[in-house]
Amino acid sequence: MEVETILFVIAAAALLWLATVVTMSTGAGAKSLLAEPGLDVIGDVHGQAGKLERLLARMGYRERAGSWSHPTRRAVFVGDLVDGQGDRQLDTVRIARAMVDSGAALIVAGNHEFNAVAWHLGERKHSDKNRRQHERFLAEVEEGSALHEEVVGWFKGLPLWLEVAPGEYGVASERGLRVVHACWDPQAQRTLRDSFGEVPRMSEALVAAASVERSEAWEAVEHLLKGPELPVDPPYLDKGGHERRHARFRWWDGAATTLDRAVQLPGGTTTADGEPYPELPATSIEPPVSPYSGDEPPVVHGHYWLTGDARSTGPTTACVDYSAGRGGKLVAYRWSGESEFDDANFVASE
């Protein structure tokens, strides 16, 4: 074969690969950022490894030598790799762990990683309810096995939040980026820093302290990994069918000063009697945390089981949990240094 022919074949193959990557990196609500340094913040996976693989491929990541990576970007996991309805719990952990270990990704802990550590340490009650929530993960790791010990050991090293400084990881930005599983709460962060160091991780000491109900550490972790809540009446049924008397606070909403505006309830929520949940009154509330200021760096979080098309919750706040663990899409936000979020930068697995 002549040299010119060989070069033509190589060039054609390269163009085909590039076209494939660009096509998979774009789509409804997804902007191609193939050559631009940045961070791709991925929502709660809950054992849905297939959705994770499709999402990574759509964003131009490729699997090589046992780990997914991108030529110019890093992934960031917001936690909750496990539990939920996913039937590939271990595969999800292995994908994320390989990416973190190779430098292709960053990660923060979610409440389900916290629960996994607390369960393993005996700090979380081994009730039927808690076991049902955790049973898919326990079945895959074979509870009490060396593999169970190893995976939980990795969870213990996960940080509870992430702050990316301007220019860090090669991303040009004016204000940087923040990532947390549920709620960005400076007071909660100060509480944990005072006792567990500048970058608190899910050590045995932290998990034990935060498992003591109503302690300072417990309240701090509740806010960061589960989000602050407000009392509501009547009680409602959560996604697991359990009766609840407190609902999540919309900490990203600066106008959340009345109960009807401040409470985040999923669509289709019912009362404990199974009736459609009534509208809440517009009574004034005392916010459990200060609403997030638009003057702060942008922050991405998960945890809130949103549905529908992905969109930012405010100019500097974005949720990437769109219920992947219960039939929804796995969503990521592709951040390239912007100080305010752009809905065109969301991308979904489907």
Q: Strand, coil or helix: what is 39?
A: strand
Q: Would you give the end-to-end CA distance of the chain in angstroms? A: 42
pLDDT of residue 238: 87
The upper half-sphere exposure of residue 302, i.e. CA atoms within 13 Å in the direction of its Cβ, equals 32
Tokens 């979380």 — which residue? 124
SS3 311: coil
Question: What integer pLDDT is reported at residue 30 of this predicted model?
Answer: 46
Which strand (E) or helix (H) includes residue 92? helix 89-102
Compute and round to an integer the Cα radius of gyration of the chain. 21
Distances in Å between the Cα of 179 and the Cα atoms of 50, 146, 184, 214, 332 are 24, 31, 8, 25, 12
Identify the pLDDT of residue 242.
Answer: 87
Burial of 207 (0-12, 13-18, 19+ CB in 10 A): buried
Instruction: Domain 36-228+292-348: give its CATH architecture.
Output: 4-Layer Sandwich (3.60)
One DSSP character per residue, 337-349 reads S-SS--GGGEEE-
- Alpha-carbon span 107 to 307, nearest angstrom: 23
- Taking only the tens of pLDDT, the chain with its 350 residues reads 454 544 444 444 443 444 444 444 444 344 444 578 999 999 999 999 999 999 999 999 999 999 999 999 999 999 999 999 999 999 999 999 999 999 999 999 999 999 999 999 999 999 999 999 999 999 999 999 999 999 999 999 999 999 999 999 999 999 999 999 999 999 999 999 999 999 999 999 999 999 999 999 999 999 999 999 999 999 999 877 889 999 999 999 999 999 999 999 887 899 999 999 999 999 999 999 998 998 999 999 999 999 999 999 999 999 999 999 989 999 999 999 999 999 999 999 98
Tokens coding 325: 């663990």
Q: What is the DSSP letter of 201?
A: B
Q: What is the largest CA-CA distance in the chain?
A: 80
* 305 within 8 A of 239, measured Cβ to Cβ: yes
Q: What is the DSSP letter of 118?
A: H
Q: For residues 204 and 121, is the Cβ–Cβ distance under 8 A?
A: yes
Give the contacts of 165 (CB within 8 A, at least 6 positions apart): 176
Identify the three-state secondary structure at position 350. coil
pLDDT at 322: 96
Locate the domains of the chain by residue range: 36-228+292-348, 233-288
As to burial, measured by CB atoms within 10 angstroms (0-12 exposed, 13-18 middle, 19+ buried), residue 110 is buried
User: Where is 40: in which H helix or E strand?
Assistant: strand 38-42
- d(Cα 179, Cα 301) in Å, to the nearest integer? 6
Helix (H, G, I), strand (E, B) or coil at 293: coil
Q: What is the pTM of this model?
A: 0.90
For residue 257 the two structure tokens come to 């000063």
3-state secondary structure of 105: strand
pLDDT of residue 27: 42
- Contact, 300 vs 332, CB < 8 A? no
Find, among 133, 143, 125, 119, the residue nearest to 83 by Cα. Answer: 133
